[in-house]
Chains A and B, each alone.
Chain A
Amino acid sequence: MSQSPALAAERHPTAPARRGNANKRRQNRAAYLFILPFFLVFLTMLVIPLMYAGYLSLFESKLIGGEQFAWFANYIRAIQDSAFIGSLLRMGLFFIVQVPIMLGLALLFALALDSGRARGAKGVRLLVFMPYAVPAVVATLMWGYLYGPDFGPLAQVARAVGWGTPDFLSAGNILGSMMNIVTWEFVGYNMIIMYAALRAIPSDLYEAAEIDGAGQFRIAWSIKIPAIRPAIILTVIFSIIGTFQLFAEPSLLNAIAPDAITRSFTPNYYAYNLAFQNRELNYAASIAFLLGIVIAVLSYAFQLATERRERRALTETETPS
């Protein structure tokens, strides 16, 4: 220790208050300079594009007269657009089915690794995480080959066992096949977040329970999972955001399953097709804007719901740790 604040103050015992104010001002100026670069790109790359999209979404391009101010016509069109609503509902279904599976697997892996009872835990952790480093494009290409009905290894194995050839790319199965790709990509990432939170639980929290003879499952359910609630909530919010903006997966699967992946399979893919196939920029902007609102509302509502539950739980048990 070279200096403590107290010593530092002693060194200038007669420094006038004015000097302190000047220091404070200098520090504030430094702080603003530190945050300036971030907020510059924040403003230009986040706030202004959002505002611009909002602005564009209020116009309509007509064959005669060009761009015209149209109030909320694009939004009225969007909420009546069965393609857009359908894509949202499809992602809703995707979320309800895929996210619990993905996060459940991640939690199981994290708990198993944290229990310290498995051999080669370090290897497991790295290998499960590895798909996160694989671009969605490559993951989709790869699974596209694996799903292939003629030469894909999954079909080869199924035929060898006598199950016939499964059609992973049919209109009825494609959503499930996509869920599998996304699960494969992100279990490891979520596992790492949960595992890191588990490692940070002070072990005396459950050492007592262990001595009392509580089993590992009981400890996991009653102590560990409640303790990492914030981390779990974080993963759910990331999953809401991730699910509703899926793009690479449908756009690459479209090439090998053009009949199953419609141009409005996901909201983002729809916005892309509107903008670049139909050249309906204004309508695409309003779809992107609406999608952003839907995602923000969903994540906010989820946070609110968990906070309320937490508060109720706290008042009921009266044992906030």
Chain B
Amino acid sequence: MTSLETRAAVTVGAPKRARRAKAFDPEKRRSSLLTVLLWLGVAYFILPLWWLLVSSTKDNQALFTTFGLWFGGDFSFFENLQTLFTVRGGIFTRWLLNTVLYAGAAAVGATLLSAMAGYAFAKYDFPGRKALFSATLGAIMIPLTALALPTYLLFSQAGLTNTPWAIIIPSLVSPFGVYLMRVYSADAIPDELIEAARVDGAGEFRIFWQVGLRLLGPALVTVFLFALVGTWNNYFLPLIMLNSSDLYPITVGLAQLQAAANAGGGSQALFSTVITGSFISIVPLIIAFLFLQRYWQSGLATGSVKG
């Protein structure tokens, strides 16, 4: 078993490893011009986030009077945090927890459903396989946001709007996840291993759970992260599905705070609260991507090569 597992892992990672050795070829010259140009490009992507970080340390007045891209005025980060978590009876905590719940549940569910379907498409030859997989591929083209309105109409008929289910269930569908899992399963799970487990008397579900899932690691992380981001960042669906602000995720909540700040003409000190809230809301995802980069980058690699 173990030797097979390593073999599978090596087959998937092999081309990459060979290339990586080449990247350190001492004969290759590093280009200073290219380095400078690239890092200038990076500045464009980072400066807005830098601005967000800097601004979350300013009070409402310093926000409007000091230079945006550098610290100024008093260091009010902790005061801002305190306001953020106490404004309207601490509803921001609620929004944060809602987002974690919706995105977490949707991502776990979407990953599991995609893994099961993708594994079946890759490893079983059942009647209707081709047609069903084509339907899945075709669904990648269906614009999910354009679908949100029809879903809302349906949910309101069923009386399911304004519940967490209205956000979680539609987010479980991930045709691209199924596609990625199929490609990855075909590569990473050797048929002989499944056959061997069958001979040993293991049931099909147990084989998937104990053999298949273990070899799907990077693909699982990839689908999980992208489903997580998709739900975490979704705005349209929760905006139309939810009425009570107790159920809002952070995106809808922040947009509402911002609208209040605009309406209040800035007199309520809400701008710095919105900015600090925006900053807090992006920290978890950035950390997740940083720590899991090894997995999602190799997972994406498989999907895009065969794409």
Residue numbers of A with Cβ under 8 A of B are 1-5, 8, 11, 26-28, 30-35, 37-39, 41-42, 44-46, 48-50, 52-53, 56, 105, 109, 112-113, 115-121, 123-124, 126-139, 141-143, 145-146, 150-153, 156, 184, 187-188, 192-194, 196-197, 199-200, 202-203, 230-231, 233-234, 237, 241, 244-245, 247-248, 251-252, 255-256, 268, 271-272, 275-276, 281, 284-285, 288-289, 291-292, 295-296, 299-300
Residue from B67, B113, B250 within 8 A of A153 (CB atoms): B67
Please determine whether A49 and B116 come into contact, CB atoms closer than 8 angstroms.
no
Please determine whether B275 and A145 come into contact, CB atoms closer than 8 angstroms.
yes
Residues of B within 8 A of A299 (CB): 141
Residue from A11, A115, A135 within 8 A of B235 (CB atoms): A135
Please determine whether B34 and A35 come into contact, CB atoms closer than 8 angstroms.
no
Residue from B150, B195, B233, B274 within 8 A of A53 (CB atoms): B150
Residues of B within 8 A of A109 (CB): 38, 41
Question: If the complex has contacts A141-B254, A142-B278, A272-B149, are A196 and B64 also in contact, measured as CB distance less than 8 A?
Answer: no
Give the distance in Å from the alpha carbon of A143 to the alpha carbon of B45 in the complex.
12
Residues of A within 8 A of B31 (CB): 117-118
Please determine whether A256 and B262 come into contact, CB atoms closer than 8 angstroms.
yes
Please determine whether B30 and A118 come into contact, CB atoms closer than 8 angstroms.
yes
Please determine whether A231 and B290 come into contact, CB atoms closer than 8 angstroms.
no
Please determine whether A271 and B149 come into contact, CB atoms closer than 8 angstroms.
yes
Q: B287 — nearest CB in chain A belongs to which residue?
A: A133
**From residue 276 to 307 of chain B, which have CB atoms closer than 8 A to chain A?**
278, 281-282, 285-286, 288-290, 293, 297, 300-301, 303-307
16 contacts between A and B (CB under 8 A): A3-B195, A3-B200, A38-B116, A38-B117, A45-B172, A109-B38, A112-B38, A118-B38, A135-B235, A137-B235, A137-B252, A200-B301, A203-B19, A252-B255, A268-B145, A284-B149
**B154 CB within 8 Å of chain A:** yes
Please determine whether A151 and B63 come into contact, CB atoms closer than 8 angstroms.
yes
Please determine whether A196 and B67 come into contact, CB atoms closer than 8 angstroms.
no
Give me the 9 closest cross-chain CB pairs, A-B, nearest first: A153-B68, A53-B150, A30-B204, A31-B124, A34-B120, A135-B233, A3-B196, A196-B301, A49-B150
Q: A275 — nearest CB in chain B belongs to which residue?
A: B149
Please determine whether A152 and B68 come into contact, CB atoms closer than 8 angstroms.
yes
Residues of B within 8 A of A116 (CB): 22-23, 25, 28
Known: A38-B116, A199-B15. 18 other contacts (CB 8 A): A3-B196, A4-B196, A8-B199, A28-B126, A37-B116, A45-B170, A118-B31, A120-B35, A126-B293, A130-B45, A130-B49, A131-B48, A138-B281, A187-B45, A196-B300, A230-B307, A241-B141, A295-B141
